[in-house]
Amino acid sequence: MKNITIISFTKKGGDINKRLTDILSESDITSYTLEKYRFDNRVKPLGNLKETVKRHFTDDAVIFIGAVGIAVRSIAPYIKDKFCDPAVLVIDELGRYVIPLLSGHVGGANELANYIGEALSAAPIITTATDINGTFAVDVFAKKNNLLISSRKLAKDVSAALLDNNCIDIDSDIKSIDVKELKKKLNPKNKACDIKVRITDRIYDDTVLTLIPKNLYIGVGCKKNTDADKMWDFVNDIFRLEGLDIRAVKSIGSIDIKRDEDAVKNLANRLNVPFLTFTKDELNSVSGDFFESEFVRKTVGVGNVCERAVCIQCNNLIVKKTAREGMTVAIGRE
């Protein structure tokens, strides 16, 4: 974890705080304790607790050294859900127990608790059902494999089915993620299952939980001052027509003269992905069989922007140039 905040309240808690600061030295640590218990200059004096927690609730983890009740009351106003909350842990001031309080799976609190527990010779108190039952946890699997979860409800249904000893049908459309052994484990008798999981960048019906890799790349072009909503609808339409999940997009590319084009910037912002730009020389240096336009070549210096922009990013064009009302898009897969 990159950013971790540690908060302690007593002298004994300060001792654990210091040990944790050393144990977690590979992370960016911010430590707080009461002024009279500060053990060195790395530790900041603790002021208003709720304000301190609010300030650091965007960190990867917040660790309290003290009573669970203090932690619960201080984080309560800022809790949203397990997909965006940080890992929150509580350690008693004697360092005997490590309790993952929030975001045990997606936030990594359980994993961090086990790591700290081993380092402190403390007992991790894990309460999540899939962990204590030794059951496959789809959210942990997704996190470890950098996959997005298509539906929170279906993810809960998967866990509930496994805890009820029901089978799950899991398969992968992505060659780099092999689930053959997992498939045998989750459905040992190879029966027909009500609940299905697919690791895929393709669109399935809404009864299938899809785990989505970030492995698709877009190349785009457009006329100046193209309407942002029109561009958004256009790209979404092409993804739907091709049966591809737009949530699998990793980045967007175009020519550098479009770096300030609102329609493309808006598209990247809506998808929360980088917008990469390339010079005409960089685009022209890409080899391949592209649909070239003399008009585009005379206008921007390269005959095809979108396909070349894809191939710079991933060199595997799967959807060639599609045009509509002055907009173009091409799609590649990693």
The domain at 138-213 falls in which architecture? 3-Layer(aba) Sandwich (3.40)
What is the full DSSP assignment across 161-176?
HHHTT---EEEES-TT
The H or E element that residue 242 is part of is helix 228-242
pLDDT for residue 97:
97
To the nearest whole percent, how much of the chain has pLDDT over 90?
78
Does residue 334 carry a pLDDT above 90? no
pLDDT for residue 91:
97
Q: What is the mean pLDDT of residues 127-135?
A: 85
Q: Model confidence at 131, in pLDDT bands (50, 70, 90)?
A: confident
Among 42-46, 194-198, 295-299, top mean pLDDT goes to: 194-198
Does residue 302 carry a pLDDT above 90? no
CA gap 254, 307 in Å, rounded:
9
Does residue 300 carry a pLDDT above 80? no
For the chain, how far is it from start to end, CA to CA, in angstroms?
Answer: 26
Instruction: Give backbone dihedrals phi and psi of 178, rounded to 5 degrees, phi first.
Output: -95, 120
- Fold category of 3-127 in CATH: Rossmann fold (3.40.50)
CATH superfamily of 216-333: CobE/GbiG C-terminal domain (3.30.420.180)
Does residue 83 carry a pLDDT above 90? no
Q: Model confidence at 1, in pLDDT bands (50, 70, 90)?
A: confident
Instruction: Give backbone dihedrals phi and psi of 204, rounded to 5 degrees, phi first.
Output: -110, 170
CA angle 268, 322, 255 (to 5 degrees): 50
Does residue 170 carry a pLDDT above 90? yes
CA gap 208, 197 in Å, rounded:
6
Helices (H) and strands (E) in the chain, counts: 13, 16
Does residue 158 carry a pLDDT above 90? yes
> Which segments within the chain are labelled E, that is strand?
3-8, 28-33, 43-45, 61-65, 87-91, 97-102, 123-124, 147-149, 169-172, 196-199, 208-213, 216-222, 249-255, 275-278, 317-324, 327-333
Residue span(s) of the chain under CATH 3.30.420.180 come to 216-333
pTM of this prediction exceeds 0.75: yes
Least confident of 65-69, 122-126, 294-298: 294-298
What is the full DSSP assignment across 244-257?
B-GGGEEEEEEEGG
Does residue 112 carry a pLDDT above 80? yes
Greatest alpha-carbon pair distance for the chain in Å reads 75
Does residue 301 carry a pLDDT above 80? no
Residue span(s) of the chain under CATH 3.40.1390.40 come to 138-213
Residue span(s) of the chain under CATH 3.40.50.11220 come to 3-127
pLDDT for residue 324:
94
